[in-house]
Amino acid sequence: MAPFFVLFAAVTVLPVGYAAWMSLYREESSGLGFGGTTRVFAGLGNYTRALGDPAFQTSLTHMLAYCLLYIPVMIGGALLLALLLDSAMARARRFFQIALFLPHAVPALIAALVWLYLYTPGLSPVTGALSALGGHWDFLAADHALYSVVNISAWQWMGYNVIIFYAGLQAVPRETLEAATVDGAGAVRTAWSVKVPMIRPTVIVTLLFTCVGAVQLFDAPKVVQSRSGGMGSDWSPTMYILSTAFDAHDYGLAAAASLLLALLAGGLSFVVTTLGNRWRAA
């Protein structure tokens, strides 16, 4: 296990420790700005600046709205598709498994180009079809950005979660399902009352990973923001951190925001795990 702990310390523990150290300092320019910068101890000043920054607060609001919409769609959709694949009436299971998992296997750069094409007015066949039917939907508009981001994330990750749920369903004893059928339970009742309760640990783990991934949202909004005129460069917390560090060159503030986001992810993980354990024991 030594190689794992060495790599874990090198790529996780040390960077987090360095970020924590950076978050306690700020850089100040001397004179009229023509001289060098000096590093000044700020204590918790960067954390209060981050929490009081309206841009950071707005990015957290966007992330909350994203979680409230994305997580139910992701977990509910993946579980429903996995149950359909596991049903006795399913045909061509192997084909649909590969088809559902394929978006997750597409490289992020290729996926970004595909979605930019599908979202760009005048190029997208989707917007063209809507216009031909008398409808209109601007995927890149600021008030539609949330739905566009959720769509990209769900497209990329739902098949991955379907495979996890399907693997859990395959471990359900067939004798239990046969007993439910003998007792008169239909397909829907068997799925809801027998299959789902028996894969509770799988659902909890998937929900935990989905929540942690939602907090780290970056790729999908960055794709939409690259073509959207009304969507800021700090739409999500990770985008805010990137903009603060490499556009504003305020590394102390960016490090503080990063640690606040990590604490938020840790707190959310604790809540999900606690509620999940209670559901598992119910």
pLDDT at 132 (0 to 100): 82
Domains assigned to the chain: 1-43 (no CATH), 47-281 (1.10.3720.10)
Query: So what's the pLDDT on residue 131?
Result: 83
Three-state DSSP state, 152: helix
The segments of the chain whose pLDDT lies below 50 read none
pTM of the model: 0.88
CB 132 within 8 A of CB 154: no
DSSP E strands in the chain: the ranges are: 25-29, 37-41
What is the predicted pLDDT for the residue at 133? 82
Query: What tokens were used for 275?
Result: 């509620």
Contact 78, 137 (CB under 8 A): no
* pLDDT attached to residue 34: 60
Q: How many whole angstroms separate alpha carbon 116 and alpha carbon 113?
A: 5
Structure tokens at 22: 């950076």
The string of pLDDT tens digits covering residues 43-84 is 899 999 999 999 999 999 999 999 999 999 999 999 999 998
pLDDT computed for residue 2 by the predictor: 94
Cβ(282)–Cβ(272) below 8 Å = no
pLDDT tens digits along 160-195? 999 999 999 988 888 888 888 888 888 888 888 889
Instruction: With H, G, I as helix, E, B as strand and everything else as coil, classify residue 224.
Output: helix
